[in-house]
Amino acid sequence: MKDNNIPDNECNRSKDYFDPVTNTIDIRSDGLYPSNVLSNLCSNGFRFEGMVCGSMEGFLQSLKYKDKDKQRQICSMKGGNARKRSVTSWQTDQIVWWKGYAIDRQGEEFQQLVRRAYQAMFDQSQRFRDALMQTRGMTLIHSIGEVNSYKTILTSQEFCSILTDIREAYDKRDKNLPKRRKRVFINMDNVLIDFHSIKENQGNDTLSMYGGRTDNIPGAIDAISELQEYFDLYILITTSWNNPSVLVNKVKWVIHTLGNTFKEHIIITSRKDMCIGDYLIDSSGNNGASEFEGEWVMFGSENYPDWRSVILYLYKKEDLDKREFSTTCEN
């Protein structure tokens, strides 16, 4: 376990309480990260039901006070200061207080109140949330905590159970969230359209006919149709500004061939490295393609000689390799 360089003196000590043999982590204020940040003494500030909480320790200790002003004062304290305000008078009748309302320490209402407070801290404190989620797969313990619920505002078992439940609920929710569709930029020339063939057959003077040509790269249109189901696709267009008619016809070709859905997915650029995404499919490193921050898939190269090889690679890279691939992309 490593120290996360937390500046707070209350939760920045040096002992390692992670046991790799038992895969347990002991939550202690003098432990290494994330043990220290999970301690109630750590100053993970949050707001809860209209009250400012300087730490979880502040909230817990404030429950022992019936006076609203005193409770508000203690609730706002950092962990160390709040712990010094601990009293035992509540133990006699096992009644604690929240905003002037009496609550049975041994009842379900108390348990729900404390759980809501921890959830609020988890939701609002990035530091606490990151620390808790770093303990995925570990068993949480609090060896120095009190086990008798009649003697403490929160037992070690209650404490660890609450954190474990919050962690598992968040982990489950996180896994069930839909994954962001990866963004793929596809250069038009010599990836979708055989631009070299058009120039050879028509010449530069007749490139205005670009929009009416059918010199498509084999398998390109079917590949776009397949990839569109799993990826967020954008068509990159580059052209000489000295011949704007070519640009117009390229746009017309995209809309006519790929459909109206691509109207909002056309990018005209001479700096492909400025496009932010996951993959760039391009046949050359020109116009910033070789400096693209994502992964450049060099179409027509030895590794990616055709569209089928590109599709197979992308599906495998994104764990979609069990899919039945269309044979139309082979030719």
pLDDT of residue 328: 44
Terminal Cα distance for the chain, rounded: 53
pLDDT confidence of residue 171: 86
Q: Tell me the pTM.
A: 0.55
* Helix ranges (DSSP H) in the chain: 35-38, 56-62, 68-75, 79-83, 108-124, 126-133, 156-176, 195-202, 220-227, 244-258, 307-317
Q: What is the pLDDT of residue 198?
A: 52
CB-count exposure of residue 163 (10 Å: 0-12, 13-18, 19+) = buried
Q: Splitting the chain (331 residues) into consecutive groups of 10 residues, what average pLDDT does each group show? A: 44 76 96 95 94 97 97 96 96 97 97 97 95 95 96 98 96 74 92 69 46 71 89 88 80 88 88 92 91 93 94 88 46 41
Q: What is the pLDDT of residue 216?
A: 82
Contact 37, 128 (CB under 8 A): yes
Task: Check residue 239 and give its pLDDT.
Answer: 74
Please, which residues bridge with residue 234 across strands? 185
Give pLDDT tens digits for 10-57.
444 468 999 999 999 999 999 999 999 999 999 999 999 999 999 999
Distance from C-alpha of 300 to C-alpha of 307, rounded to nearest angstrom:
9
Q: What is the pLDDT of residues 152-198, one digit of tens each?
A: 999 999 999 999 999 999 988 866 666 778 999 999 999 998 865 55
